[in-house]
């Protein structure tokens, strides 16, 4: 689906220019080929572990932080860290952002990649909202407080397409009014606003990347493709919520983490969409079946908090830091199958 060109409002297009010097703040992160000292929160997770591997391959030193919460099997998170921990340029710190002394970890950082948080639209209703607010809003504010007076480069916040909710246009540009349809989306939007506030008030060069549906090897077990592969392997039904015509924009994880580093090196600040392959859920299921075998679909009613359609307009990301998704959906799914999903 081709991206639709939109006229960018001044507050959106302003993040495409290079920032002026910020006193003590390190400028190495704004040179695409620079070697950096990077801090990664949520480093043991699906995207976090892929980001750490990408940064190490680029020659960066990585300071990894993760609370190892039980949002899913902690053994999977420890497995994600296993190969990384063998690298001399990698150090891991088991810490909660709301309790830890973050200063020593952040001192001298050229870039901070904030991926820690609580995911899941369906789990964010009712009693689940408190946990989402703590891990998505309060933890972000604590990290921004710790960063604000220290020499650092880009602060890259992993936001979500969930901030759009049921967008009125598709593909959806950053100029669209956010209308979250889940408490999870509300918390991610609040975290974006905090990033903007600290940029305005303290000069922290923050950027929020609105990630659409990221997939790939080691995907969280609650995510759609991981559940589809598991259903195909075990011969058990896959519950499909809605009629299957709802669309999602799938972005391969290695394209996503490469974009994060490119954005950090560019001097870009503000908000940008990152997406890849918009398809219907019926098409997504068929794509998994092509590499993993048949999947029995168990129809279920659509659930509250699920947007009907989602597709990214990547114009801003393309102009600001050269983003272009390189991995077709069938290639990414084949890689998942080859690595045991």
Active site residue 72: no
Residues 6+ apart with CB under 8 A from 151: 24, 25, 26, 107, 108, 109
**Structure letter (DSSP) for residue 156:** E
Residues 242/281, Cβ–Cβ less than 8 Å: yes
**Structure letter (DSSP) for residue 111:** E
State CA 126 to chain mean position distance. 24
Residues 216/336, Cβ–Cβ less than 8 Å: yes
Cis peptide before 7 (omega within 30 of 0): no
- Please report, for residues 116, 121, 213, the alpha-carbon distance to residue 159 in angstroms, rounded to integers and kept in the order given: 10, 13, 11
What's the rounded Cα separation, in Å, for the pair 75 and 194? 32
What's the rounded Cα separation, in Å, for the pair 238 and 300? 10
What's the rounded Cα separation, in Å, for the pair 133 and 127? 11
- Match 């959806």 to its residue by tokens: 172
Residues 249/189, Cβ–Cβ less than 8 Å: no
Task: Quote the Cα angle for 256-254-276, to 5°.
Answer: 50
DSSP-derived 3-state class of residue 68: coil
| Catalytic residue of the set 184, 198, 215, 252 | 184
- Region class of 293: left (phi > 0), else alpha (psi between -120 and 50), else beta: left
What positions carry a catalytic annotation? 184
């Amino acid at each position: 689906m081709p991206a639709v060109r939109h006229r960018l409002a001044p507050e959106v297009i302003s993040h495409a220019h290079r920032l002026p010097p910020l006193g003590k703040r390190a400028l190495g992160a704004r040179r695409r080929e620079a070697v950096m000292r990077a801090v990664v929160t949520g480093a043991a997770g699906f995207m976090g572990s892929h980001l750490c591997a990408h940064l190490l391959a680029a020659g960066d030193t990585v300071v990894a932080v993760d609370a190892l919460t039980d949002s899913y099997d902690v053994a999977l998170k420890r497995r994600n860290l296993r190969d990384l921990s063998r690298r001399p340029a990698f150090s891991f710190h088991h810490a909660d952002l709301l309790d830890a002394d973050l200063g020593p970890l952040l001192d001298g950082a050229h870039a901070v990649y904030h991926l820690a948080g609580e995911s899941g639209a369906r789990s964010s209703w009712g009693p689940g909202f408190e946990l989402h607010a703590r891990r998505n809003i309060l933890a972000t504010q604590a990290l921004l407080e710790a960063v604000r007076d220290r020499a650092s480069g880009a602060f890259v916040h992993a936001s979500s397409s969930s901030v759009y909710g049921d967008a009125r246009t598709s593909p959806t540009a950053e100029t669209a009014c956010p209308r979250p349809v889940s408490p999870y989306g509300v918390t991610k939007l609040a975290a974006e606003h905090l990033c903007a506030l600290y940029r305005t008030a303290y000069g922290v060069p923050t950027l929020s990347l609105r990630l659409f549906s990221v997939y790939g090897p080691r995907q969280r077990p609650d995510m759609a493709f991981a559940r589809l592969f598991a259903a195909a392997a075990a011969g058990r039904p896959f519950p499909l919520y809605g009629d299957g015509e709802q669309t999602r924009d799938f972005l391969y994880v290695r394209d996503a983490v490469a974009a994060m580093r490119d954005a950090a090196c560019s001097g870009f600040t503000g908000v940008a969409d990152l997406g890849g392959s918009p398809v219907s859920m019926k098409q997504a299921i068929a794509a998994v079946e092509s590499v993993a075998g048949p999947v029995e679909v168990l129809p279920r009613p659509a659930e509250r908090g699920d947007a009907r359609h989602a597709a990214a307009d990547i114009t801003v990301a393309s102009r600001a830091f050269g983003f272009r998704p390189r991995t077709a959906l069938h290639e990414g799914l084949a890689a998942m199958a080859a690595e045991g999903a």
